[in-house]
Amino acid sequence: MRFTKMQGAGNDYVYVDCFQQPAPENPAQTARQIADRHFGVGGDGLILIEPSDVADARMRMFNADGSQAEMCGNGIRCVAKYVYDHGIQRRPTLRIETDNGVLEVDLELDDATDKVVRVRVDMGRPVLEASRIPTTLPGNPVIDVPLQVAGRQLEVSCVSMGNPHCITFVDQLTDQWVLDIGPQIETDPHFPRRVNAEFVEVLSPTEVRLRVWERGSGETLACGTGACAVCVAGVLSGRTERQIVAHLPGGDLQLHWANDDEHVYMTGPAVEVFSGEWDPASAKNVQVQEAHSSM
């Protein structure tokens, strides 16, 4: 099976072009094997790029533990780059089908190479109704409500960007927040489908520092939908403005929660790292055929 490794702000996935080859028969199992950072290609999960009847391409995403996710903000930017750079569709604005609907993306091209370097994604309107996030915590919206986790009383805010997020604003980001509290928030019974946990240090009304414990993958270097959710929660809690820069361990993302259409717009990088051949008969057999760095 041919694959391409790509990353957006360090959030790395293994991508499979299903325009050129069949999708794996068991994508959940393939995700667990191929995402393994010791015996596989390594990544935060598996993303399939498939034909679509309603858009330029369809994205299906599987976390490193094999669970299927509705949406990935960094992943959709890389899908858009692949679709353009590999000639599936050569338009500066593309439509990508996801399990959260069809999203529109605008491509920023390098003049010298005619390759995509950055992508702006219309992430749509945030979901603020508790039952649709979903969470059993009180409020519509769920902003700064108490949550008891690991013997600690937290104040959390919940937003869905097609997938669920629980945001905690903290005075200082630490490993304890992310690595100890994050997994417990993910599986807290107030979140029937589990949840992504964001921990945010506000630097100014237009700038935050962010780390994320992702549902099904653990801590990742970036989370696009999580950054969008933080932007929304920051506005609703009065901590930030509608346009912010989010500093994540893997890089920066620009977020804008627009006043007019109430859509969240996310802008960030997309990078192709290398391509190779994966033998699905063996979880330990990866042959990198053409290593290259590509903007």
* Predicted local confidence at residue 292, as pLDDT: 44
Domain with CATH 3.10.310.10 in the chain: 2-120+270-294, 130-262
* Predicted local confidence at residue 84, as pLDDT: 98
Question: Is 223 among the residues known to form the active site?
Answer: yes
Contact between 12 and 78 under an 8 Å Cβ cutoff? The reply is no
* Predicted local confidence at residue 131, as pLDDT: 97
| Architecture of the domain spanning 2-120+270-294 | Roll (3.10)
* Predicted local confidence at residue 293, as pLDDT: 41
- 143-160 average pLDDT score: 96
pLDDT above 70 covers what percent of the chain? 95
What is the tens place of the pLDDT at every residue in 28-53? Answer: 999 999 999 999 999 999 999 999 99
Q: Which of 78, 158, 166, 223 is catalytic?
A: 223
Q: Bridge-partner residues for 246, per DSSP?
A: 208, 253
DSSP letters spanning 114-144: --EEEEEEE--PPB--GGGTT--SS-SSEEE
Confidence of residue 112 (pLDDT cuts 50, 70, 90): very high
pLDDT at 282 over 90: no
pLDDT at 287 over 60: no
Confidence of residue 222 (pLDDT cuts 50, 70, 90): very high
**Cα–chain center distance at 121:** 12
- 113-139 average pLDDT score: 97
Handedness of CA 233, 79, 21, 277 (dihedral sign): negative
How many whole angstroms separate alpha carbon 162 and alpha carbon 67? 15
Question: Is 166 among the residues known to form the active site?
Answer: no
What is the tens place of the pLDDT at every residue in 255-265? Answer: 999 999 999 99
- 236-259 average pLDDT score: 98
How many whole angstroms separate alpha carbon 165 and alpha carbon 79? 22
* Predicted local confidence at residue 279, as pLDDT: 87
Between 284 and 22, the higher pLDDT residue: 22
Question: Which residues have CB under 8 Å from 55's CB, separation 6+?
Answer: 94, 95, 96, 97, 102
pLDDT at 295 over 70: no
CATH superfamily of 130-262: Diaminopimelate Epimerase; Chain A, domain 1 (3.10.310.10)
What is the tens place of the pLDDT at every residue in 179-207? Answer: 999 999 999 999 999 999 999 999 999 99
Mean pLDDT of the chain: 94
Between vectors from CA 252 to CA 210 and to CA 187, what angle results, nearest 5°?
A: 35
Confidence of residue 281 (pLDDT cuts 50, 70, 90): confident
pTM exceeds 0.85 for this model? yes
Contact between 20 and 4 under an 8 Å Cβ cutoff? The reply is no
Backbone φ/ψ region at 101: left (φ over 0), alpha (ψ -120 to 50), beta = left
pLDDT at 109 over 60: yes
* Predicted local confidence at residue 289, as pLDDT: 44
pLDDT at 288 over 60: no
- 132-138 average pLDDT score: 98
- 56-61 average pLDDT score: 98
